[in-house]
A and B are shown apart, each in its own frame.
Chain A
Amino acid sequence: MLQRLRESKSMQGALLALPTTLWLLVLLIIPLFLTLVVSFGQRSPDGNVIYSFTLDNYTRLLGYNTDCPAGQSSCFDPLYVNILWRSLSLAFNTTVIVITLAYPLAYFIARATPKRRNLFLFMVLIPLWTNFVIRVYAWMMLLRKEGAINIALGWLANLFNIPFAPLEMLYTPGAVLVGMVYEFLPFMILPIYTSLEKIDNSLYEAAADLGANAFRTFLRVTLPLSMPGVVAGTILVFIPVMGTFIVSDILGGRQVILVGNLIQRQFLDARDPTFGSAASLILMVMTLIVTYFYTRKFGFGEEIVSA
């Protein structure tokens, strides 16, 4: 047996990969499958799952209600479709803003002298190492009516003698957007930096030698070569934004409800795991479709683990 193991490379490999594969099978793949099963079930009055096969949860999500106002047999309720759409567009907006902010900084770091590069990179990482929840809380303090932003604005207004009333910023869609951008910015900076840093300096020299000015060099050399970083960063930002519920919960109050909040409530307050599972699967399918088309177009770089 031992002799066979020593000589069989495939047995050794299988044995080495087994713990991880089993772990992922039991705790990631089987749960996904269970979610699928539950999503076709029905909710029992005490909040448990009755296993059956019904598409009710899905039709309800897509807006086709069964309990309609009197006299109507079917009716359209856009509530959940709106939530899905809101999540999608928020994720899109967040990603675009994050790219716009992250790119100049990543470029700045990549072109710094090697010694300073580490310091600048370290400065990006520090906020990332403070806790996710703590970072949301920091924004709550900033955005409040009595918060630092309003104080600063009031002070400025006073300086120029403009009448000023504190802005209501907390519990708005804008607050959620800012929070999301802040939370996920480092996840874009790091992969873009990684791909920029890989670009050989001689390429810039070659471009200059061939007559390209700084702007054209950027457009024709730097930008295309850093695309793998942007792609990886987009995946690292877009997907979590789609599923996060804390940011909207704390900075959006009850005003901004995203898919994440919807799912969370089904499992805690509303106690309807079947509906929550269906919503969760729709969320997964949405992210997978976006990722699939996005990576098919741009590829899936190794920068993904750079963060």
Chain B
Amino acid sequence: MNPHKRSPLVIAAASLVYFFLYAPIVILILYSFNASRANVTFEGFITETSSRVVMDGSLVKASPCGFFHWYCDLSRNDDVIEAAENTLTIAFTATIIATTIGTMAALALQRYDFKFKPFSQLSLYIPIVIPEIVMGIGILTLFSQTFGALNSALNLTGDSRLSLGIWTVTVSHIAFMVPFVTLVVQARLQGFDKSYEEAAMDLGANEWTTFWRVTFPMILPGVLSGALLAFTLSLDDFVITFFTNGPGSTTLPIYVYGLLRRIITPQVNALSTVWILIVFLAVLALQWLQSREQKPAQ
């Protein structure tokens, strides 16, 4: 019996689902080359290159970047660049902190017994079983109430007033990322044989050396996949960011959302395409690195 045999019905259904998954993305990318500034219908590609942008009504006839007009346009958009910087700053900071403390918690939950262990374990499921918006407005209430109280208690005025910004977004992102990191690392630790660590200690390594020389390298793949998951969650997050951001801490999803409620030029499509491309290449590079790592060194 061939285990890989599938009925044509399954293959047809699977193909349709793949089509459903990809059609919107293909259209999205196609429209990033749209000559029409209004971007409602597809009016053809921008075929000509010129020293200056030539418009005919709302149609771009020619541009210094030609075919890639909207990408050039995008690269000159300071708001986008600031939003991209914010997004990456938040994602990197939050990922590093969440991965560190999440891995520690996973070790604690998997290896040790301590007083508040059931509470710790249970709290990890909060972001899974509670809608993001509930967490979002909860965190917003926490910040606004404590900031309000502190600002008036400490007589803070002007710029020194506590307010929402990049750090409130980062801190909130960590809160919903940590449980995912912890659960992923915990799952990896479940299959971890304790005798590796005992062997290291038996050979003269103390607890600290044992962790860094043996435990950590062995759980690293789990930690990395936890970190990757956390990073993508942060990049993708809209709801929590929506409620916790303030002036100057707009992220790309928030920026795009803002645009969708106003005028949409193909610049948004160009932005989306660049985003997809970067994520795609990053993941491809990661996969490549991983496969190289796993190759046996003969």
Contact = CB atoms under 8 A, between A and B. Distances in A.
Direct contact of A and B (CB under 8 A): yes
Interface stretch (A64-72, A76-84, A156-164, A236-244): A236-244
Nearest to B264: A137
20 contacts: A9-B112, A17-B114, A20-B104, A20-B182, A21-B116, A21-B123, A23-B178, A49-B145, A112-B6, A126-B283, A129-B283, A132-B238, A135-B24, A137-B264, A205-B1, A242-B131, A243-B131, A244-B132, A250-B257, A305-B184
Contact of B141 (A11, A35, A201, A287): A35
Interface of A: 6, 9-17, 19-21, 23-32, 34-35, 38, 49, 101-102, 104-105, 107-109, 111-113, 122-127, 129-142, 144, 146, 148, 182, 185-186, 201, 204-205, 208, 214, 235-236, 239-240, 242-246, 250, 260, 263-264, 267, 273, 276-277, 280-281, 283-284, 287-288, 291, 302, 304-305
Interface string B105-119: 101110111111101
Please classify how large the interface on chain B is, using the bins under 10, 10 to 19, 20 to 34, 35 or more.
Answer: 35 or more
B133 A111 contact: no
Nearest to A302: B187
Given A28-B138, A263-B137, A17 B108 contact: yes
B25 interface: yes
A30 B24 contact: no
Contacts of B129: 235, 239, 287-288, 291
A185 B21 contact: yes
Q: Which one of B11, B40, B235, B236 has the highest number of Cβ atoms from chain A below 10 Å of its Cβ?
A: B236
A126 B283 CA distance: 9
Nearest to B11: A108
A133 B276 CA distance: 12
Contacts of A123: 18, 21
B294 interface: no
B268 A137 contact: yes
Contacts of B71: none
B172 A35 contact: no
B81 interface: no
Nearest to A36: B138
A304 B183 contact: yes
A125 B283 contact: yes
A287 B130 CA distance: 7
Given A23-B101, A35-B137, A111-B3, A14 B114 contact: yes
